């Protein structure tokens, strides 16, 4: 279980997150929505320690992630808004490199299989600098098949994906649901998000404004009045 | 993990050839400018050469340090590495080592050019010269990698890096110039030992600082 407690973050004098607390249970698919600049991406980046926070605590299964060694991040996999690859390398080289960063040694055949599964040509050896946004997004999804994870944090995963790509992503999410994996999804597409998530949380002005279970407003936080 | 990260930097450079080509082209251009701009006597050239040499290598090193970190930003690969189970101190050492390797490779091409175009005599004690160059390269790479990590997310980082790096490495550069001049003048080690010790101290201090604080400076 991921437990986020009283997270605060300011960029300069501008508060981005204010006392944000959230929990994601085992096997839960949580959707995070909110307007631009509400702090959704920042929260995800704080969880995986790409961004520091000004206060609060985050733990995974009771083990603190903040101020802990790199090994505590091993169960978490973060797919950011940007692809997170090296442009001069090929798709297979990028995947192999990322696997090695997680201490894995996948065979080239495994990497090729994962690339094929997300609809990329494994024989393509050119640099990913030539890839379209949608192809980069598919490559990012190949990471989820290469790295073993317990909690997946996805920031705008539908960006650049065509209809086929979105359908593939939906299938992957359903597979993960069946496998009882935990997901934290951020998207502007509230409709798409609500069709996949068990619970939706809205962030506005850096605060949690509302929380819904299966589309019904069954949990209401008391922070709506805060600007 | 360190080997994986250094190999990654070298593979990226092998594929893109962006860092070394720009370092060598820029370094050769300045060397040629020096060679054709002024023609002092061989004695005065020996006095100026170490300073000119280290100015060239400092300018050239900024290109490598900046490019090495800006590549991490291009598709936000740096966030991917930060979120992976990789100790940030190891990440610092990898950047430090790859920066050092790029600088040494560039010097292997530029130094002969420098000696050739400025018509300098080869130093009698080459081993001392190599030792000083390797140590100073480590110092520049340690301070530069740390600073690049700090400024990489700032909008005008390409401007900020040299502005912060040059004053920071001034003690190292002075020691490098004095040591190189002494070696080229065939002075015994005892006479320039202090400068060598200063270089060594700089390398140790900045390597340790980078190792200890990179965890904090790498996060946004």
CB A81 within 8 A of CB A155: yes
Q: Quick: pLDDT tens for A198-227.
A: 888 888 888 888 666 654 444 444 343 333
Residues of B in contact with A150 (CB under 8 A): none
Distance CA(B170)–CA(B176), nearest Å, equals 10
Distance CA(A60)–CA(A150), nearest Å, equals 10
In angstroms, the Cα distances linking A103 to A110, A146, B84 are 15, 12, 10
A39: left (phi over 0), alpha (psi -120 to 50) or beta: left
The reply to whether residue B219 touches residue A52, judged by beta carbons under 8 angstroms, is yes
Residues with Cβ within 8 Å of B16's Cβ and at least 6 positions away in sequence, in order, are A88, B71
Q: Which of A70, A137, A159 to mutate to test the interface with B (most CBs of B within 10 A)?
A: A70
Q: Which residues of chain A have pLDDT under 50?
A: 215-227
Q: What is the DSSP string of B77-121?
A: HHHHHHHSS--HHHHHHHHHHHHHHHHHHHHHHHHHHHHHHTTPP
Whole-number average pLDDT of chain A: 86
Q: Cα torsion for B96, B102, B104, B109, to the nearest 10°?
A: -170
Distance CA(B155)–CA(B70), nearest Å, equals 11
Q: What is the pLDDT of residue A141?
A: 92
Distance CA(A152)–CA(A185), nearest Å, equals 8
A210: left (phi over 0), alpha (psi -120 to 50) or beta: beta
A131 touches chain B (CB under 8 A): no
Nearest to A101 among B4, B74, B219 (CB): B4
Polymer length of chain B: 220
The reply to whether residue B79 touches residue A71, judged by beta carbons under 8 angstroms, is no
Taking Cα atoms as reference points, which of B59, B72, B66 lies closest to residue B25? B59
- Domains of chain B, residue spans: 2-217
CATH superfamily entry for domain A1-75+151-156+182-227: P-loop containing nucleotide triphosphate hydrolases (3.40.50.300)
Distance CA(A178)–CA(B112), nearest Å, equals 65
Nearest to A127 among B4, B15, B76 (CB): B15
Computed on alpha carbons and rounded to an integer, the radius of gyration of chain B in Å comes to 18
- Domains of chain A, residue spans: 1-75+151-156+182-227, 79-148
Q: What is the pLDDT of residue A212?
A: 62
Lay out the sheet containing A182-186: strands in order across. Answer: A76-79, A151-155, A182-186, A29-33, A199-204, A207-213, A216-219
Distance CA(B195)–CA(B202), nearest Å, equals 11
Distance CA(B74)–CA(B88), nearest Å, equals 20
Residues of B in contact with A78 (CB under 8 A): 79-80, 83
A45 touches chain B (CB under 8 A): yes
The reply to whether residue B71 touches residue A87, judged by beta carbons under 8 angstroms, is yes
Helix runs in chain A, H state only: 40-47, 91-101, 108-117, 133-146, 163-178, 190-196
B87: left (phi over 0), alpha (psi -120 to 50) or beta: beta
CB A142 within 8 A of CB A118: yes
* pLDDT averaged per 10 residues in sequence order, chain B, 220 residues: 92 89 93 84 82 93 86 88 92 93 95 89 89 96 91 79 91 95 91 95 95 86
The reply to whether residue A45 touches residue B79, judged by beta carbons under 8 angstroms, is yes
Predicted ipTM of the assembly = 0.86
The reply to whether residue A48 touches residue B82, judged by beta carbons under 8 angstroms, is yes
Residues of A in contact with B75 (CB under 8 A): 82-87, 128, 136
In angstroms, the Cα distances linking A204 to A20, A37, A60, A209 are 11, 8, 25, 6
Angle at CA of residue A140, ends A50 and A183, nearest 5°: 65
Closest A-chain CA to B14: A88
């Amino acid at each position: 279980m991921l437990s986020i407690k009283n997270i605060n973050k300011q960029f300069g004098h501008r508060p981005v997150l204010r006392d944000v607390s959230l929990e994601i249970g085992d096997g839960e698919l949580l959707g995070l929505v909110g307007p631009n600049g509400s702090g959704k991406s920042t929260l995800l980046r704080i969880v995986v320690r790409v961004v520091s926070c000004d206060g609060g605590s985050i733990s995974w299964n009771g083990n603190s992630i903040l101020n802990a060694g790199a090994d505590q991040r091993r169960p978490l996999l973060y797919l950011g808004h940007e692809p997170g690859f090296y442009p001069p390398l090929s798709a297979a080289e990028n995947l192999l490199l990322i696997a090695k960063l997680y201490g894995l040694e996948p065979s080239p055949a495994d990497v090729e299989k994962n690339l094929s599964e997300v609809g990329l040509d494994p024989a393509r050896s050119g640099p990913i600098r030539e890839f379209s946004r949608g192809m980069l997004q598919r490559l990012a999804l190949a990471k989820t098949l290469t790295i073993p994870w317990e909690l997946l944090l996805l920031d705008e995963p539908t960006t650049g994906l065509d209809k086929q790509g979105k359908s593939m992503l939906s299938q992957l999410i359903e597979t993960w649901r069946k496998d009882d994996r935990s997901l934290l999804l951020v998207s502007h597409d509230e409709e798409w998000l609500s069709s996949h998530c068990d619970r939706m949380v809205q962030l506005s002005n850096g605060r949690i404004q509302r929380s819904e279970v299966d589309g019904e407003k069954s949990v209401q936080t008391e922070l709506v009045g805060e600007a | 993990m360190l080997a994986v990260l250094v190999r990654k930097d070298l593979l990226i450079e092998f594929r893109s050839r962006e860092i070394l080509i720009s370092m060598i082209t820029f370094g050769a251009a300045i060397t040629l400018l020096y060679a054709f701009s002024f023609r002092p006597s061989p004695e005065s050239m020996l006095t100026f050469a170490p300073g000119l040499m280290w100015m060239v290598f400092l300018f050239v090193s900024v290109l490598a340090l900046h490019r090495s970190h800006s590549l991490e930003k291009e598709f936000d690969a740096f966030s991917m590495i930060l979120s992976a189970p990789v100790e940030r101190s190891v990440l610092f050492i990898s950047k430090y080592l790859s920066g050092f390797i790029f600088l040494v490779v560039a010097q292997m091409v530029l130094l002969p050019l420098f000696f050739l175009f400025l018509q300098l005599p080869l130093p009698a004690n080459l081993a001392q010269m190599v030792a000083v160059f390797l140590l100073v390269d480590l110092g520049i790479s340690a301070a530069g990698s740390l600073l690049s990590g700090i400024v990489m997310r700032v909008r005008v980082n390409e401007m900020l890096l040299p502005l912060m790096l040059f004053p920071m490495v001034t003690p190292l550069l002075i020691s490098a110039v004095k040591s190189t001049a002494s070696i080229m003048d065939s002075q015994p080690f005892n006479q320039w030992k202090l400068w060598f010790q200063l270089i060594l101290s700089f390398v140790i201090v900045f390597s340790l600082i980078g190792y200890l604080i990179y965890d904090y400076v790498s996060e946004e």
